[in-house]
A and B are shown apart, each in its own frame.
Chain A
Amino acid sequence: MTRPATWQRDMRGWWRRDPAFRRYLLREATSVAIGGYALMLLAGLGCLAAGPAPWQSWQGLVMSPIGLLLQALVFAAAVIHSVSWFRLMPLTVPPVGRPGRRLGDTAISSAAWVASAVCSLALLGWLVYGA
């Protein structure tokens, strides 16, 4: 058999072709924002180690309008990231339980949300009362 002549289309601008692709790219991009926030915190730690003056200027930067705006954006990204990944989590978890008695998707997602809420509240509690 001879292979027929074909037309191979290219992939330029593929993300423009379907809203699902743009949602996917947005989800992936949120991890960049979260990574950036982690670097910012690391920088803060560095400033703290360097002495009171750098620490205060870092604090000033963080509390500035631009700093607050960036943090709001990062927070939004973190929410999108969490929601999308918790929703996808059941796809990535190997089957839990015996055949016929498998843990359902809702249970897996709910468990993730509960774990996340417990950790967040514990952190908040520690910040408000513990420190």
Chain B
Amino acid sequence: MVTAQTPEVQVIDCDLVIVGGGGAGLRAALAATLADPGLDIRLVSKVVPMRSHTVAAEGGAAAVLRDDDSFEQHFEDTVSGGEWLCDQPAVEAFVAACPRELSQLERWGCPWSRQDDGRVQTRFFGGMRVQRTWFAADRTGFHMLHTLFQTSLRYPSIRRHDEFFCTDLLVDERGLAGVLGVDIAAGTPVVYRTRAAVLATGGAGRVYAHNTNAGIVTGEGMALAGAHGVALRDMEFVQWHPTALPGSGILITEGCRGEGGLLLNAEGRRYLQDYGLGPPEPWPRPRAMELGPRDRLSQAFWQEERAGRTVATPQGGAVLLDLRHLGAARLAERLPMISEVARRFLGIDPVATPIPVRPAVHYTMGGIATGLDGETTLPGLFAAGECASTGIHGANRLGSNSLAELLVFGRAAGEAAAAWARSAPARAGGSLQRDAQAHAQHWYAQLTGDRSAGQPRVAELRTAMQAAMEDGVGIFRDADGMQRACQTLGELRARYSAGLALDDHSRHFNTEWLSAIELGHSLQVAETIAHAALARRESRGAHVRRDDWSARNDENFLVHSLAYCDPEGPPRIEHAPVRLTRSAPAERSYGGAGARVTLD
């Protein structure tokens, strides 16, 4: 039904829709068109591709390159880093594919930092026993994203619809049938009638108040899949990056520590030695001290702050990231953006002054449950990148595995979706269009909400959601806090359903309306995080409890959590076994054993 408020939905036929123009979406689009140049591929994104959050990744991407490294070591670092919650067949496939994918990007023009003889340079990241991180100064994500975007310009068969806000997936009895959304500038609804779709919409860090993420990282891809019964896996595992600017949460890359940066508390002590990560040595020791994994470092900060050993800043307590000993030349070569960020936002020069940092939410380890080719339980729907959970990250992702992941699994999903689109029958006519019109009407009705009925502003509910998550589902968790968060989120869901007040009732480029739609999706995702966390009665990786469940429990919880969304109520949480192949769960230890290394 076309109403006064809801324009008629425009129908566009195509073979494959890729939702999201970041690293995973672009890689999927390239893979699909290279696999099958005849396909009509549509790359839709709520921003122009180079604005995607991949652009803000700094430190680097992991792949075995050096002679002293091996797939086995990359596998072991990843699986132990993820505290054995990783799906080991996925990790095996992943580590084997990383070198090829990063090399492919090099061939497409990515300016990886080089050694003097022209070979690609690598650096340490946390939890690695060998220097495995390829980097492009400290703007790795930026260079990767622009390389992929520029390469996509070579293929006119990839047709973009920039600033297209995806609101719904439409399904019929055979599976995925359409992708509905709004052309942001015109404010008109469009449905892509398609045989297959790849979700590459990124993470959900914005459900928290303090995060390193761009404003667009609101998690709606996960909610879109969840709305059709696709499980969201391991959502309770949220990564806090240990070094972000207080207040803004702007990321200060782990590469700083890979280059030899030190973390000091208010007393000037390298406090990580007090958390089983020592001994402190003046030289970098792999898998120790500042090169420990992110979960351990963020947890150590939390303890230091409670013990009153942090430096006060107007934006909360901080520890100090000391880069002074690296010298001006190395900072300019390896960490130019960090140096500029410190100068611009803090007014300090890291050559002379340590940078105050504290943890902030950085990455969603969980996501849409997929197989190795990005396939989901909904026929025709694929997912890749941060929005997906292939199972490689387990309970804690190692830094620099995510940039490699979006290439490896972006490609796999693109190729699998292309093959699916080629073999699946075309979708026919009328019912999809009626379905699309009905869904569109729901969203356009939201445009008319005003303040007369005392309804809340978007920001009011969003702030309440973020506060509930920070309060109840933080770095350290307990049952009371998580229950409180679940309760609050349920109330917020009800208030959201009752309607929001918008100032802006126009259809043209209405970003207030879009943020209201985003918020509905974010609330769904936040609930899966809180409920999955509550259901995991153990501590593992990034999920640490202070109550009766502070120990790891392999007997009962060496399992993935699966959250099934319910628009009317809290998600249903189930658990499913982890796939192990060659690495049996063991004690996860850092510090101590690492041998001395020389940084090039």
Is B186 engaged at the interface, CB distance under 8 Å to the other chain? yes
In the bound complex, residues from chain A placing their C-beta under 8 Å from that of B509 are 4
A residues 3-41 near B (Cβ < 8 Å) are 4-5
Is A128 engaged at the interface, CB distance under 8 Å to the other chain? no
In the bound complex, residues from chain A placing their C-beta under 8 Å from that of B183 are 1-2
In the bound complex, residues from chain A placing their C-beta under 8 Å from that of B494 are none
Query: Given B161, B164, B190, B508, which contacts A4 in the complex, CB threshold below 8 Å?
Result: B508
Q: How many residues of A contact B (CB 8 A)?
A: 4
Q: B interface, by DSSP: helix, strand, loop or mixed?
A: strand
Residue of B nearest to A6 (CB): B185
Give the docked Cα–Cα distance between A1 and B160 (Å). Answer: 10
Q: Is the CB of B508 within 8 A of A1?
A: no
Give the docked Cα–Cα distance between A4 and B183 (Å). Answer: 10
Is B298 engaged at the interface, CB distance under 8 Å to the other chain? no
Minimum distance in angstroms from B157 CB to a CB of chain A: 17
Minimum distance in angstroms from B208 CB to a CB of chain A: 34
Is B528 engaged at the interface, CB distance under 8 Å to the other chain? no
In the bound complex, residues from chain B placing their C-beta under 8 Å from that of A1 are 161, 164, 183, 186, 190
Minimum distance in angstroms from A14 CB to a CB of chain B: 26
Give the docked Cα–Cα distance between A2 and B182 (Å). Answer: 12
Give the docked Cα–Cα distance between A4 and B162 (Å). Answer: 13
Name, among A1, A2, A4, A5, the residue most crowded by chain B CB atoms within 10 Å (CB to CB).
A1
In the bound complex, residues from chain B placing their C-beta under 8 Å from that of A4 are 185-186, 508-509
B155-177 near A? 1/0 per residue, CB < 8 Å: 00000010010000000000000
Residue of B nearest to A4 (CB): B185
In the bound complex, residues from chain A placing their C-beta under 8 Å from that of B437 are none
B94-119 near A? 1/0 per residue, CB < 8 Å: 00000000000000000000000000
B177-190 near A? 1/0 per residue, CB < 8 Å: 00000010110101
Minimum distance in angstroms from B13 CB to a CB of chain A: 15
B residues 476-525 near A (Cβ < 8 Å) are 508-509
Minimum distance in angstroms from A36 CB to a CB of chain B: 47
Give the docked Cα–Cα distance between A4 and B163 (Å). Answer: 12
Residue of A nearest to B161 (CB): A1
Name, among A2, A4, A5, the residue most crowded by chain B CB atoms within 10 Å (CB to CB).
A4
In the bound complex, residues from chain B placing their C-beta under 8 Å from that of A2 are 183, 186, 188
Residue of B nearest to A2 (CB): B186
Give the docked Cα–Cα distance between A1 and B188 (Å). Answer: 9
Give the docked Cα–Cα distance between A5 and B183 (Å). Answer: 13
Minimum distance in angstroms from A8 CB to a CB of chain B: 15
Minimum distance in angstroms from A5 CB to a CB of chain B: 8
Minimum distance in angstroms from A2 CB to a CB of chain B: 5
Residue of A nearest to B508 (CB): A4
Residue of A nearest to B183 (CB): A1
Give the docked Cα–Cα distance between A37 and B153 (Å). Answer: 51
Minimum distance in angstroms from A99 CB to a CB of chain B: 12
Give the docked Cα–Cα distance between A5 and B507 (Å). Answer: 12
Give the docked Cα–Cα distance between A5 and B187 (Å). Answer: 11
Residue of A nearest to B10 (CB): A2
Residue of A nearest to B188 (CB): A2
Residue of A nearest to B509 (CB): A4
In the bound complex, residues from chain A placing their C-beta under 8 Å from that of B164 are 1
A residues 49-88 near B (Cβ < 8 Å) are none
Residue of A nearest to B162 (CB): A1
In the bound complex, residues from chain B placing their C-beta under 8 Å from that of A5 are 508
Give the docked Cα–Cα distance between A4 and B507 (Å). Answer: 11
In the bound complex, residues from chain A placing their C-beta under 8 Å from that of B186 are 1-2, 4
Give the docked Cα–Cα distance between A4 and B508 (Å). Answer: 8
Minimum distance in angstroms from B109 CB to a CB of chain A: 17
Minimum distance in angstroms from B491 CB to a CB of chain A: 38
In the bound complex, residues from chain A placing their C-beta under 8 Å from that of B508 are 4-5
Give the docked Cα–Cα distance between A91 and B186 (Å). Answer: 42
Minimum distance in angstroms from A3 CB to a CB of chain B: 8
Give the docked Cα–Cα distance between A2 and B188 (Å). Answer: 9
Minimum distance in angstroms from A88 CB to a CB of chain B: 26
In the bound complex, residues from chain A placing their C-beta under 8 Å from that of B161 are 1
Give the docked Cα–Cα distance between A5 and B508 (Å). Answer: 9
Give the docked Cα–Cα distance between A2 and B508 (Å). Answer: 12
Minimum distance in angstroms from A122 CB to a CB of chain B: 43
Residue of A nearest to B187 (CB): A4
Minimum distance in angstroms from B12 CB to a CB of chain A: 9
Give the docked Cα–Cα distance between A18 and B183 (Å). Answer: 35
Minimum distance in angstroms from A23 CB to a CB of chain B: 26
Minimum distance in angstroms from B182 CB to a CB of chain A: 12
Give the docked Cα–Cα distance between A112 and B509 (Å). Answer: 52
B residues 174-213 near A (Cβ < 8 Å) are 183, 185-186, 188, 190
Minimum distance in angstroms from A6 CB to a CB of chain B: 9
Name, among B164, B185, B188, B509, the residue most crowded by chain A CB atoms within 10 Å (CB to CB).
B185
Give the docked Cα–Cα distance between A5 and B190 (Å). Answer: 18
Give the docked Cα–Cα distance between A4 and B186 (Å). Answer: 5
Give the docked Cα–Cα distance between A127 and B538 (Å). Answer: 95
Give the docked Cα–Cα distance between A2 and B184 (Å). Answer: 11
Give the docked Cα–Cα distance between A4 and B182 (Å). Answer: 13
Minimum distance in angstroms from A90 CB to a CB of chain B: 21
Give the docked Cα–Cα distance between A92 and B188 (Å). Answer: 48
In the bound complex, residues from chain A placing their C-beta under 8 Å from that of B190 are 1
Give the docked Cα–Cα distance between A2 and B163 (Å). Answer: 12
In the bound complex, residues from chain A placing their C-beta under 8 Å from that of B188 are 2
Give the docked Cα–Cα distance between A2 and B164 (Å). Answer: 12
Give the docked Cα–Cα distance between A5 and B188 (Å). Answer: 13
Give the docked Cα–Cα distance between A49 and B53 (Å). Answer: 74
Give the docked Cα–Cα distance between A1 and B183 (Å). Answer: 7
Residue of A nearest to B185 (CB): A4
Minimum distance in angstroms from A98 CB to a CB of chain B: 15
B212-243 near A? 1/0 per residue, CB < 8 Å: 00000000000000000000000000000000
Beyond contacts A1-B183, A2-B186: 5 other A-B pairs, Cβ-Cβ < 8 A, are A1-B161, A1-B164, A1-B186, A2-B183, A4-B185
Closest 7 A-B residue pairs measured CB to CB?
A4-B185, A2-B186, A4-B186, A1-B161, A1-B183, A4-B508, A2-B188
Which residues of A are in contact with B by a Cβ distance under 8 Å? 1-2, 4-5
Interface pairs (13), CB distance under 8 Å: A1-B161, A1-B164, A1-B183, A1-B186, A1-B190, A2-B183, A2-B186, A2-B188, A4-B185, A4-B186, A4-B508, A4-B509, A5-B508
